[in-house]
Structure 1
Amino acid sequence: MDSTVLSVVVPMFNEEAVIPALVDRLRPALDGLGVPYEVVAVDDGSADRTATLLFEHGRTWPELRLVKLRRNSGHQAALTAGLQRARGDWVVSIDADLQDPPETIAEMLRVAREDGLDVVYGVRADRSTDTAFKRHTAGAYYRVMRRLVGADVPAQAGDFRLLSRDVVEVLKRLPERAPVYRLLVPSLGFASGSVRYARERRAAGETKYPLRKMVGLAWDSAANFSAAPLRIATWLGLGAFAACLALMIFGLVVWSNGTVIPGWTSLFLAVLMLSAVQLICLGLLGEYVARIYRTVQNRPTFHIGFDSATGDGQLDIPRQRSAAGRR
């Protein structure tokens, strides 16, 4: 039996609406490659019929492999589960919403082989289908991350990428508790290239990355790869010291002129400013201490409940709820 050449990891959360369109486009794109492949569909604890539909499609599509997590663990954790279970010489990660075209996978694999690359990023050359708010916030995110982490971070490259087996093995050995792969992969320094494509509209369903999740991703990116937030605390402390020094000088000047100082106002402002700065600094320190604590606990970030390829676990389909949870 031929070894698996390509694994395609697809994290999913409440994506029952888009699964038929995904299968209709992904399967022909992969069949046309002419290489043994597998699709590792990771159900991230969905509350709808995502796992059921994947299991049913797997009966007629032998290469489709269902990996179901016991609970919702987040997009990056589901991606980690897929990377750890993938068996291919090359591994592609792609979202289920079809905004990243599956047909681009063939070009990514060709570029990696011809140029001897270990990483090929899918770069969004055209984001006209996104809202203006999404385009501006995404641009700001990549600009900030490039300043914090380094210029190796490709602009407009999300989680649509191709990795060699060597890169996947390195990622599996890293002790990252909350990996952000769009920053972690460039930091490894493997030979990389890119393929440009036009970002499409979501095929069906609703986005699983609302503003709250985008802010969380930005914070994880900054905290995981830079001590800049702690330096912000330092600069806030220096700014507060300078402001208090200016108030002290002002008070001495007024006192030397014999002018009565309205004491309660200046004292109130000074105490308020110092208290705010102290709380901000404590909060930033607390965030880093919490990350250290979670690392020391060494608890797994996800639990595999079922794998259709190995038969591990038992497929437990939850009842559909009226209000499905979000990531």
Structure 2
Amino acid sequence: MKINEFYFHEVLIDTAWIFDELEGDGQIPKWEELVDTFGSSGIKNVIQTIATEIVQEYPETVFAKTNTDYYDIIPELAKKKLKEHFSFDEECQKQEDVPESKRRKILLFDKAKNFAIIILTDAPNTAVEDLCWFMDDFKEHPDEIKLYFEDFKRDWNTRVLFDSREEPGFVFQEPNLVFQGSETDLDIIGFDEFFNLSDYSSEKEKRTPVPVSEENPKTLSVQTKYGVIKATRLDDKEYPGISVVFEKEGNGSPGAVISQNPLAQGIELLIYNTSNPDGEPIEIISLYKDKEKQE
């Protein structure tokens, strides 16, 4: 059976919203517990699977044929399936989205601050570098760094193997990281890659947002802790406007386009989601209609 893509995305978005409501109301385990069981990407895969099941069980044509309403059926069905998949059953099988053998041990350290942390993660280097930049930008705000790292662990299958802040006796020594007065040696844990946080200091040359300039007059980029927000001027004779996208590796480029539409005789806002950022918009909002042309 061919699935209507727009209808599927509508069901997928509603299922994700209902997941958040159930998690917030305590009707399913907390996000942190689910990540430990399924992995962050595993949770997203389950939500997508549920949406697919719902669309197959209730195709968009069924409502007209049975004289029923989407919101009378789909939300309750989504709740039921979410509770079944994300139950409080302690014996539910752990689903590791990424095998531990395919994750890397990454060492982040700052010799001057006598700091080191080793994480096991599937995050790409660009995401790790974003973490490094953020740790420097907010070095005076440890609570902000803690919140960012919690988001990082949700986005990527990540586990902390070692944190020097929890080891009062830790002393950084080159070329190895060891403890003085302790038998623990970080070389026993080992690491596959390392990032020196001093290389990401704001005092050094770092990535900067792309300003509107003569060299790049059409684009404006802003670096956030979650990724890059990019606005681009669209110089189309019939559809002039502005495109705004959110860029993050592994996340596609969801966003929106606001432009003139000669066919609609006005200004429209088109919204694209993460699941299919290059496909059809999930929503089209009319912002302005030319009344004279309509008459």
Q: Tell me the TM-score normalized by structure 2.
A: 0.23
Q: Tell me the TM-score normalized by structure 1.
A: 0.21
Higher helix share: 1
- RCO (CA 8 Å, sep 6+): is it higher in 1 or 2? 1
Higher strand share: 2
